[in-house]
Amino acid sequence: MDLNNLDPIFKPKSMAVIGVSTKRPLFPGTIIYNKNLHEFPVEVYAVNEKGGLIEGNTVYKHISDVPTDLDLAVIIIKAKQVPQELENCGEAGVKSAIVVSGGFAEMGSNGKKLEEELIRVAYKYDLPFMGPNCIGIHSDYVDTFILPSERLATPPSGNVAVVSQSGGVLIDQILSKFHEREIGVRAAANIGNKALITEINLLNYFNKDPKVDTIVFYNEGFKKNTGREFVQLAKQMKKDIIILKGGKSKFGAKAAQSHTAAMATNFNLIASSFRQAGIIEAITETELVTYTKAISFGLNEIHEGNIAILSISGGHAVLSADLCAYYKLNPVPFTDEQKQLLYESVNPSAAAIATFDNPIDLTGSVTDKDIENCLELLLSFDNVEGIVVLLVPYVPTISMQIGRRLSNIVQNSPPPKKPVIAYLPWLRRYGIIIKGLELNKAIPVAHTVEESIQMMHCLHIKGLKYKKKE
């Protein structure tokens, strides 16, 4: 069975939902059916042993009654009924399945036996399935999440693939925040108990997708003997891999066991393995989001951590300098010649009170042109690998076009392109500035000063990976 070719799951042309209700429109199976019927290009069919109609559409009594070949079956019925239904799918020639139902290995020995039966059936019919105990996948082609679309905040389409062991973390901590920060997602998967399809299969699958540049994981524990394989596979890949590891404490590991039957791992050992393989590990959900945004913009890595900070507020400059110490970044000292060039590039009123050490504080007398000039100079300095721009747009001498103007500077700078990251208050009134900065993925915008430093830290971790390969 080829578990690395998962197109029937992520790009199905036809699917059936087994376990709809003709009387309860908010029943999970019915939600999945209606959502795909009205919102996605997949051809979808409803299955329930009682038959009937849903909004005038036939509900088939048996999977074999569906009048077309099926790429995917979504199964959402009682756990004890699932093995037989998976057998029915195999006999009907269904190419793949997602088992949404819970009540398997996460519930103990009886549930584990049911899960083993699913695996037996899958191999018998060459029928790969995702789950059980999962909400499945979201892509441009299909959405098997059990929540109505109006309840979800889905990100725009993009170049990131997301794999999560938890459906709740996927929806709330990842996709909703990716939506807020406009991080584009190619596909997202919740693998639940991962009885058959694991992180390794998805790593292989997305590695072959030319439209995926970054692969993000939320993991609560690897199956026996698969953690090492995951790390070795990631080490060979050129694509960026970001992981948030749950279940690191004894309490978290216990919760993970009852949640998705995850196996406890030696966290210190695996964290070290992540670093050696060049896997970028996020410690918090905030880091996961900021790291992904920086990487998804395709910014070049930095090797030594030598950065410049350009601020128009002294307090913001101080905060960023402290954070650089924590995130192991180096605000590189400027030479006297560099300081003089910066001084001469700024209007006399600002230059008289500005500070041209690193971090640079241009003060509230700054104009758009001053920031442009300084950024252009910093991009030309050989001792600067990356630049953080801390914008405080309340200053009336800064226009609402500052984002577009700085974006143009970055896009017109000669290669190799140095990464530039901006902080800007994430308020609706400054949306035009944010859109200008992020135009053509020139400058990603962080919500907080810390997030801007986190983004640069991520590019440094990425740089260390490639430095090791050299």
Whole-angstrom Cα distance, residue 469 to residue 38? Answer: 48
The answer to whether 87 and 129 have CB atoms below 8 angstroms apart is no
pLDDT in tens, 171-185: 999 999 999 999 999
Domain boundary among 89, 105, 133: 133
Residue 424 is assigned to a structural domain of this protein: yes
Looking at residue 250, what is its pLDDT? Answer: 52
Residue 148 is assigned to a structural domain of this protein: no
Residue 144 is assigned to a structural domain of this protein: no
The answer to whether 116 and 68 have CB atoms below 8 angstroms apart is no
Looking at residue 1, what is its pLDDT? Answer: 86
pLDDT band for position 302 (50/70/90)?
very high
Looking at residue 191, what is its pLDDT? Answer: 96
Looking at residue 259, what is its pLDDT? Answer: 46
CATH code of the domain covering residue 284 = 3.40.50.261
Integer distance in angstroms from the first to the last C-alpha of the chain?
A: 37
Based on the domain organization, do 229 and 335 belong to the same domain?
no
Looking at residue 272, what is its pLDDT? Answer: 84
pLDDT in tens, 137-168: 999 999 999 999 999 999 999 999 999 999 99
Residue 141 is assigned to a structural domain of this protein: no
String of DSSP letters for 282-306? ESSHHHHHHHHHHHHTTPPP-SS-E
Whole-angstrom Cα distance, residue 265 to residue 376? Answer: 48
Looking at residue 426, what is its pLDDT? Answer: 86
Domain boundary among 296, 318, 353: 296
Kindly state the tokens that stand for 175: 């996709």
pLDDT in tens, 79-126: 999 999 999 999 999 999 999 999 999 999 999 999 999 999 999 999
Looking at residue 271, what is its pLDDT? Answer: 80
Based on the domain organization, do 250 and 326 belong to the same domain?
no
Looking at residue 460, what is its pLDDT? Answer: 95
pLDDT band for position 246 (50/70/90)?
confident
The answer to whether 128 and 6 have CB atoms below 8 angstroms apart is yes
- The residue type of 206 is F
Based on the domain organization, do 6 and 94 belong to the same domain?
yes
Number of separate domains in the chain: 3
Based on the domain organization, do 247 and 310 belong to the same domain?
no
Q: Is the pLDDT of residue 256 over 90?
A: no
Based on the domain organization, do 429 and 288 belong to the same domain?
no
Based on the domain organization, do 322 and 457 belong to the same domain?
yes
The boundaries of the domain holding residue 401 are: 301-469
Based on the domain organization, do 173 and 126 belong to the same domain?
no
Residue 453 is assigned to a structural domain of this protein: yes
Based on the domain organization, do 269 and 345 belong to the same domain?
no
Cα 422 to Cα 390, 403, 433: the distances in Å are 6, 9, 11
In a 13 Å sphere around the CA of 228, the CA atoms on its Cβ side amount to 2
Residue 261 is assigned to a structural domain of this protein: yes
Based on the domain organization, do 282 and 323 belong to the same domain?
no
Looking at residue 98, what is its pLDDT? Answer: 98
Q: Is the pLDDT of residue 266 over 70?
A: no
Based on the domain organization, do 452 and 309 belong to the same domain?
yes
Looking at residue 141, what is its pLDDT? Answer: 97
Residue 143 is assigned to a structural domain of this protein: no
Cα 445 to Cα 103, 366, 380: the distances in Å are 43, 20, 22
pLDDT band for position 276 (50/70/90)?
confident
CATH code of the domain covering residue 6 = 3.40.50.720
Q: Is the pLDDT of residue 273 over 80?
A: yes
pLDDT band for position 418 (50/70/90)?
very high
440-451 average pLDDT score: 96
Based on the domain organization, do 306 and 406 belong to the same domain?
yes
pLDDT band for position 225 (50/70/90)?
confident
Whole-angstrom Cα distance, residue 326 to residue 320? Answer: 10
Mean of all residue pLDDT scores within the chain: 93
Based on the domain organization, do 43 and 62 belong to the same domain?
yes
Domain boundary among 262, 296, 330: 296
Residue 216 is assigned to a structural domain of this protein: yes
Q: Is the pLDDT of residue 224 over 90?
A: no
Percent of all residues in the chain with a pLDDT value above 90, rounded to a whole number = 87
